Structure 1
Amino acid sequence: MSKQAHGSLARAFRASIAEDRAMLALDKQLKLQEAAKKQTIFELEKDCREFSSQQLSKEKSDTFDLNDPLRLRKEAQMRYGDADPRCGAASMLKFGGEDLMKAERKRQQQKQQVMFIEQQQFEKEMLIEENSDKKYIQETAEMIALRNEMETNEQNLRKELQQSQQAVNLDHAAGRARQQQELKEQESLLDAAELYHHGHDPFLNECKDNTNPNGRVRRAEYKGATKEERMQGLRILRQQAAEQNMQKYNEKVEDFRFQNLQEAARRQLILQERDKARNRRAMAEAMAKENLQLKAEKVQQTKAMNELYTNKFSDDFFAQFGTTTR
């Protein structure tokens, strides 16, 4: 069989397996849905049965009193006594064989009988107690002795257990103390070894020359720069610090100059604003004066016009009366 045929068979087999799995999953899903449906139907039927048994029973019907076998027993009595409002003046006061106090008399008799029985039981118990006092005292003493013996045994057992527990605790404490002592000794040995290493290690103590015969530095034993190199680095750092200080000083000078320029510009702007305000105020005052002058001229014109078109009564007007002759 060729590889191609073998591959096609394998793919068909895998497809069949996948299809079977899908069918199984679908069947399982359908079964679950069917089970849920049956459960829902069962619960609905159960609710219907409960509702029918509670609300639609024969006893709940309107005509149940016609078919009730105990209807006569449930009916009210013909009369409840001489004061029954249903019995008028023409009604019989008592029927033959009627006993209205039967229930109350029966209850009183039962209550009295119970009291008699209780009294008899109490008397019997008193007699039994009088005869059994000695026996009770003896049993009580035996019980007390037994209890004391049990308490003593329990105390002894508890004491033994406490002693054994104490011994175990002491053994554990001694073991922990030994372990701590051993740990301290191990730490002491390790500390001593470390101190010895620090005191005798050639790399740490610099007891060997760190240069080769050819003048090169041994990198395995080289620990840092030489004094000249360190001094040169210090000079470079100081020079950089001086340059940074000079740069900061120049920045401060530039900032101060810029602030002065800003302050001068601010003052110039303030002066310009003051000049503008002064000019606006002068123009407003001049306009106000001109408005006042125009108002005064208008008033004068109005007054002249009123005098022109108004008949003024003067002394000459009144003096002309009575001067004519007949």
Structure 2
Amino acid sequence: MYKVDIQPDLKEAAAIEARRNREESRKSRIFNIRYRKIGVDVEGLKKQVEERKLREDAEKRRDEAFDADRVQYDRIAQMLEQEEQQRRKKLNEALVEFWKQEQQPSTRREWDIQDPEAIRKDHPARVSDHDPRCGLASMQRFAGEDLNVSARLKLQKEQNKRALEEQRKERERSLADHRYADTLEDKKRIELDLRALELARLEEECRKAKAAAMADFNRAKAAEVAEQQRLAQQREQDDNYAEIHNHLTSDILNENPSTAKSFLGPHRVITDRWKGMSPEQLAAVWKMQQEQCKENQRLRGEERQRDAEWDRQRELAARAGMAMEEQEQNFRLQLKKSLDAYNRELANAQKANLRYLEKEVYTNTPTAQYHLQFNTSSR
């Protein structure tokens, strides 16, 4: 008979290999002195890790919310600054336009002295010998004579003095206006800085409760403003229609042609026959004025109520933020105390275990032969 190689069974080989792997894994666990003697609370560590992750996620979300609020407040500050710049630019343009339209050099008091075309526009001293401006002794006048030189020089000095005084006053007014404008600009800059600091302080103190309350209030505010704008547009449209109707049906445009008609033309009226507005029209005008006064008072009252509501919401948000912060501090303090107590108990237990092992268990000193019998198998 021939010798034939017998192939091993694959299942049996796999089972043997699995047993060997389990044996090696068990030996690694058993021969680990630290894990076998001291031990580790894996579940407690996992729980602490999960709590830490949750706390880090909450802090991350809070930081993201704060970052979003900070970006929004920065955008608001930039928008306010741009509006202020636009308003200042428009004011300067209006001022320059006013100078061009209303303060031309030709309208000044001293323009007759500074006018470069004064000599060209002025009339000559005498046109001819028969000039009616010349008196009886005109034939005695010679070129170069100036009989009123002292009075003329005095008058010119007074005019120059008044002109210089006016220029000095105008320069002082201009400097005062510049200083006032600089003061206003400094105050506005300080106000913006204080506002930015206040916003930064508020965004540090506010929490999720403030954000939610502020969002609800903003939505309500936007709806209220939209409704007010719609009502204002409706009132304005109604007022315009009423004004057009009043103009079309008033006695001013529909006068009686039989009494106020003029023979000079159909478009003319006789003023002495027109009696003016009737008492009913005057009473309607007075009534409309009273209604407008009442409407203005009502609008001012609503504005004061909105400002008060805004202040109240801001105060509630600040209180909610402070309460949340206080609760978080208390929670952290309690958590720290509980961890400290748990660590103390664990340390005491470990010390007691060590004392027990040193005094009760490890009483005999093992020999080398005793140690050689270990770590040879896991069984």
Classify the TM-score, shorter chain: under 0.3
- TM-score, length-scaled by structure 2: 0.24
**Which structure has more RCO (C-alpha within 8 Å, separation ≥ 6)?**
2
Instruction: Indicate the structure (1 or 2) with the bigger Cα radius of gyration.
Output: 1
